[in-house]
């Protein structure tokens, strides 16, 4: 088979500032893996909602390959089709040809973003301030959100939300405010080391992250206690930070590489059996460190990627010590896209949860369909994110679940917002939160029939 790009009639897209077509960032052989069978379309969230072939994986691959072949320009309508993709990678799970869709859409969109020299893109205040200078830093994020947290504690936020006034805050800032989870005590600062409970079975390092540390430190503590209960010594090294996904998916590849290299420097891989991550988006990004940048640091980034394990994956491989506490509740498990589709971790969380005594674990319809979070997608594409969020909540309620579980911060924030706005009688948690309660013989706080 000829893997060369066609050279005849290559008019190409308008040359970007660096003189390269965005298609040059993609290995052309990856386009040829797609046989255009269309099996991916049934699992694509945007195609399912819109029904436009250009808003499905097959159509987007066709558009990108047309640019590579010089048959199409990268114009605004094409960019809208590509940008509407959630990068959930559900198409990869069902593709019989093994198309690596993420390795097509991610570098292509990144190259388009980097080549865009228009002032509206280069000087986008939300992107430059919120995404690049606030979100990747847990301390800054906590400080910035402090006024909203206080408003929550005094009931002001709930009143404003019930009156629909939060929707008056314009644009992406308004979307961000509505995603803030209910206030709860985060717990003390994470220590540098925690010993195993009982016989030591493994030594691991724990990845803290940024948004997860700012909003879900209680889940970090739950994860650490579960690891301890399963015989893990835990180190939490200084110097680590954002995994880089926020910057990478927003078009700042150099900034993402700096984040990755800082994490490479922070972890002593020779001293641990695994680097544990408890949020799917971070884990997927870190496991692909070796794919994104081809330079002298690539071997070190690949070495870290090889050590990264999602906490569900790790505990399943280690062999979970069954939790003793009985929890009689109906539970639905939502497959976070970057856990189920990107990392191919589907059964391990379910096997862990099945060991909680009394738990009624039910299948979630359309669990493979994205909830609409997709990192910062719900800030940039609010209408589609809302449609997918509504769809996800309808499926959750159809199960009769009192608790919905998800192993990703973005999913939890998105689903929590849907629950609050619809006053649904269900609570969203991380699987480690529930396992931790079982180990400690405690019960989850469940809402009443009015969602309170």
Q: What is the tens place of the pLDDT at every residue in 259-270?
A: 999 999 999 999
Q: Which pLDDT does position 251 carry in this prediction?
A: 84
- The arithmetic mean of pLDDT across residues 411-421, rounded, is 95
Q: Which pLDDT does position 104 carry in this prediction?
A: 92
Average pLDDT, the chain: 90
pTM: 0.90
Across the beta sheet with 330-333, the strand order is 360-362, 330-333, 403-405, 427-429
Determine contact, residues 190/216, Cβ cutoff 8 Å. Answer: no
Q: What is the tens place of the pLDDT at every residue in 7-16?
A: 333 333 333 4
According to the 3-state scheme, what is the secondary structure of the chain?
Answer: CCCCCCCCCCCCCCCCCCCCCHHHHCCHHHHHCCCCCCHHHHHCHHHHHHCCHHHCHHHHHHHHHHHHCCCCCCCHHHHHHHHCCCCCCHHHHHCCCCCCCHHHHHHHHHHHHHHCCCHHHHCCHHHHHHHHHCCCCHHHHHHHHHHHHHHHHCCHHHHHHHCCHHHHCCHHHHHHHHCCCCCCCCCCCCCCEECCCCCCCEEEEECCCCHHHHHCHHHHHHHHHHHHHCCEEEECCCCCCCCCHHHHHCCCHHHHHHHHHHHHHHCCHHHCCEEEECCHHHHHHHHCHHHHCCCCCHHHHHHHHHHEEEHHHHHHHHCCCCCCCCCCCEEEECCCHHHHCCCCCCHHHHHHHCCCCCCEEECCCCCCCCCCCCCCHHHHCHHHHHHHHHHHHHHHHHCCCCEEECCCHHHHHHHHHHHHHHCCCCEEECHHHHHHHHHCCCCCCCCCCCCC
- The arithmetic mean of pLDDT across residues 48-64, rounded, is 94
Q: Which pLDDT does position 19 carry in this prediction?
A: 52
pLDDT band at 17 (very low <50, low <70, confident <90, very high): very low
Highest mean pLDDT of the ranges 106-115, 243-252, 356-365, 441-450: 356-365
> Looking at per-residue confidence, does 213 or 115 come out higher?
213
Q: What is the tens place of the pLDDT at every residue in 274-293?
A: 999 999 999 999 999 999 99
Q: Residue 118 pLDDT more than 80?
A: no
Q: Which pLDDT does position 450 carry in this prediction?
A: 52
CA gap 363, 344 in Å, rounded:
18
> Looking at per-residue confidence, does 216 or 452 come out higher?
216
Highest mean pLDDT of the ranges 186-195, 225-234, 442-451: 225-234
What tokens does 75 get? 């114009």
Q: Residue 127 pLDDT more than 90?
A: no
Q: Which pLDDT does position 22 carry in this prediction?
A: 86
- The arithmetic mean of pLDDT across residues 318-347, rounded, is 97
Q: Which pLDDT does position 160 carry in this prediction?
A: 82
Q: Residue 122 pLDDT more than 70?
A: no
> Looking at per-residue confidence, does 291 or 163 come out higher?
291
Q: Residue 6 pLDDT more than 80?
A: no
Q: Which pLDDT does position 391 carry in this prediction?
A: 96
């Amino acid at each position: 088979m000829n893997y060369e790009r066609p050279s005849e009639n290559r008019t190409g897209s308008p040359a970007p500032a660096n003189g390269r077509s965005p298609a040059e960032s993609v290995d052309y052989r990856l386009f040829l893996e797609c046989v255009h069978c269309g099996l991916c379309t049934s699992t694509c969230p945007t195609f399912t909602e819109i029904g436009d072939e250009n808003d499905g994986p097959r159509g987007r691959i066709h558009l990108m390959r047309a640019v590579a072949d010089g048959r199409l320009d990268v114009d605004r309508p094409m960019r809208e089709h590509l940008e509407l993709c959630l990068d959930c990678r559900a198409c990869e799970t069902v593709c019989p040809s093994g198309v690596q869709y993420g390795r097509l859409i991610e570098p292509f969109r990144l190259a388009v973003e980097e080549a865009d020299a228009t002032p509206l893109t280069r000087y986008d205040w939300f992107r430059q301030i919120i995404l690049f200078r606030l979100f990747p830093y847990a301390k800054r994020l906590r400080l910035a959100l402090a006024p909203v947290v206080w408003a929550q504690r005094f009931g002001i936020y709930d009143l404003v939300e019930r009156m629909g006034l939060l929707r008056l805050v314009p644009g992406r800032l308004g979307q961000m405010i509505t995603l803030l989870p209910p206030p709860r005590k985060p717990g003390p600062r994470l220590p540098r080391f925690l010993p195993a409970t009982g016989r030591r079975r493994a030594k691991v390092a724990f990845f803290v992250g940024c948004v997860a540390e700012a909003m879900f430190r209680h889940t970090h503590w739950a994860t650490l206690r579960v690891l301890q209960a399963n015989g893990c010594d835990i180190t939490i090294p200084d110097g680590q930070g954002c995994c880089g996904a926020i910057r990478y998916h927003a078009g700042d590849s150099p900034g993402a590489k700096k984040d990755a290299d800082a994490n490479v420097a922070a972890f002593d891989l020779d001293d641990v059996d695994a680097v544990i991550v408890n949020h799917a988006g971070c884990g997927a990004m870190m496991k692909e460190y070796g794919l994104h940048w081809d330079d002298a640091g690539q071997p070190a980034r690949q070495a870290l990627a090889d050590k990264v394990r999602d906490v569900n994956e790790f505990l399943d491989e280690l062999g979970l010590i069954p939790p003793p506490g009985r929890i009689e509740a109906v539970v639905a498990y939502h497959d976070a896209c970057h856990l189920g589709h990107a990392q191919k971790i589907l059964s391990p969380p379910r096997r862990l949860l099945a060991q909680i005594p009394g738990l009624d674990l039910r299948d979630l319809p359309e669990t493979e369909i994205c909830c609409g979070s997709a990192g910062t997608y719900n800030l940039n594409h609010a209408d589609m994110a809302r449609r997918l969020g509504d769809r996800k909540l309808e499926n959750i309620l159809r199960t009769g679940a009192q608790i919905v579980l998800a192993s990703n911060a973005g999913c939890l924030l998105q689903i929590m917002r849907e629950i609050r706005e619809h006053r649904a009688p269900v609570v969203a948690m991380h699987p480690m939160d529930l396992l931790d309660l079982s180990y400690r013989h405690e019960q989850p706080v469940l809402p009443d029939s009015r969602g309170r």
